[in-house]
Amino acid sequence: MNRCNNPDHPHCTVWVMPGDSTCTHGHPQASASNEAPLPSAAPIPAPAAPRPHLHPHLHISGFDPRAAGGRQVLKLELRGMPLDAAAGVTLLASSRLQLENGERHSFTRTVRGEWLPVFLEFSSRGLEHGQYRIELELHSRAQAAARTWIATLLILAPRADASLHDIHQTFLATHKNVRVHADDASIARLKARTGGGALDIDLRATNAGIAHLDLDNEGGGKIDLGFSSIAWDEDLLEIDVPEQAAQHPCPAGTACLVHDAAHGPPHSPRYLRLFALDECVIGRNEPGAIDADIRLMHHGESGLVLEGLTRRISSRHALLRRGREGFEIEDVSRYGLLVDGAWPGKHAPTPLRPGMRIELTASIPGVAVLEVTAVLPNGILLHRLDAGMEHEAFYVMDAERKLEAAPRLAALGLPLLFHRDGGFWHLDPRSGVETALSPTVNTAGLSGWPQGARFAARPYPEHRKGPATLVLRQERAAQDRRAAGA
């Protein structure tokens, strides 16, 4: 089997079977008549193996585009990493696809220098057919230097009734650089006639290549074929990481300000949850919840309710982020939400203004109700208006943005907080002194800090053993109060 040798098309690299007068693209072959016929039992030589990558890249395997709407597992193998990389590389993945096992993973290097693979589980259930991105970030925090690589995977979610031919054509259109030796998202077509005899064929498809094999079985015998799942190599692009002027003693993008119930101000939330994220996912609070950042539960007369109306809050109910016109909210749920009593529509971002009322869900009132208390220069403040008013409030702020002035916070009895250098800070309104917050900082000496309040480096410090334990503890406390009253 030779490549196309038409002198008018020197860039054509299609494989041509001996005896064929033209290649797959229709180019006439000058020496086709001089080639000897293919022996019936002789194996067809396979294309040469691709040259190994000498730079950092990911080898992705296990992708099956025919599994529309189901769960899939991608095997990510890290190769070609530099010697100065850390022994553990953090992988951050984000996508509109449902990442089943979370967004944070780790590559671990063995004593022989090999990297253990990472398995990325995802599902396209409930999503429209089309192409979806999986954004990957790899962070190496070695002592010598910090290095970061990025890559973008394009995953095809086909229609449920799509044929295998349609899937292949769409996949080829997604991955460019088509070369017909079935390497790097290309396709190799091979026609062979068995004639009732034995024919050994070794046809390889690597790096997302697809092999198209057409057998004309005149003898009517049995033909056994086996095809592996699609695999390809994705180059990792290293980006410059700006050095921070100072390193925060307690790096965190989420935290919580906890008020002591005995010393806290009356009718104030016990937990002020802090988020310094580009986008916050509002969803249901349940054991093992990993999709939501702001996790809500329904509050009844006796406290938090794990089941019941809490199930009317989706695991990914709404997105809260800063848009062009300020902070906005977008409904991505099954049950909907109301903004000032009106449903904005699904996937329709709505700008938020002070005093707006947000209700989850749209069909049942009172499941979880939030109010936009204040829109600040560096964030937005949300308080609950339902039975959980004294339980929690939410402060979503811009990451790496200093707070210059916020008299609205002082009027609400809240300290001036902002996020910078990877962590949270407190601003003294009188002296202008900035204090890096960590669980070990003595908050009693901070001006404007509420009495009996402490800083926790996680947004839900009360969930040490999950929200179910918290609900049981609160139910027992409510029973004790009822018994004492009787």
Residues 6+ apart with CB under 8 A from 181: 13, 15, 47, 48, 188, 209
- With residue 408 as reference, give the H or E element that holds it: helix 407-411
Q: Which residue has the higher pLDDT, 251 or 167?
A: 251
Asked whether residue 291 carries a pLDDT value surpassing 90, the answer given is no
The mean-pLDDT minimum among 60-69, 248-257, 363-372 falls in 60-69
What pLDDT score does 166 carry?
64
Cis, bond preceding 361 (omega within 30 deg of 0): yes
pLDDT 10s digits, 173-211 = 554 333 334 455 555 555 555 454 444 455 566 666 666
Stretch 406-411: mean pLDDT: 66
Residue 246 DSSP class? S
What pLDDT score does 464 carry?
60
Stretch 158-170: mean pLDDT: 65
Top mean pLDDT of 47-51, 71-75, 97-101, 468-472 is at 71-75
What pLDDT score does 181 carry?
44
Cβ proximity of 292 and 281 under 8 Å: yes
- With residue 410 as reference, give the H or E element that holds it: helix 407-411
Asked whether residue 348 carries a pLDDT value surpassing 60, the answer given is yes
Stretch 424-432: mean pLDDT: 86
Asked whether residue 69 carries a pLDDT value surpassing 90, the answer given is no
Share of the chain above pLDDT 70, in %: 68
pLDDT 10s digits, 293-342 = 999 999 987 778 877 888 899 988 999 988 878 899 999 998 999 999 99
Q: DSSP letters of 156-215?
A: EE--TT--HHHHHHHHHHHS---BTTTBSS-EEEEEEE-TTS---B----BSS-EEEEEE
Stated pTM of the model: 0.52
Q: DSSP letters of 374-401?
A: EEETTEEEEEE-STTTTTEEEEEE-TTB
Asked whether residue 224 carries a pLDDT value surpassing 70, the answer given is no
- Tell me the pLDDT of the chain averaged across its residues: 77
Res. 236 pLDDT band, cuts 50 70 90: very high
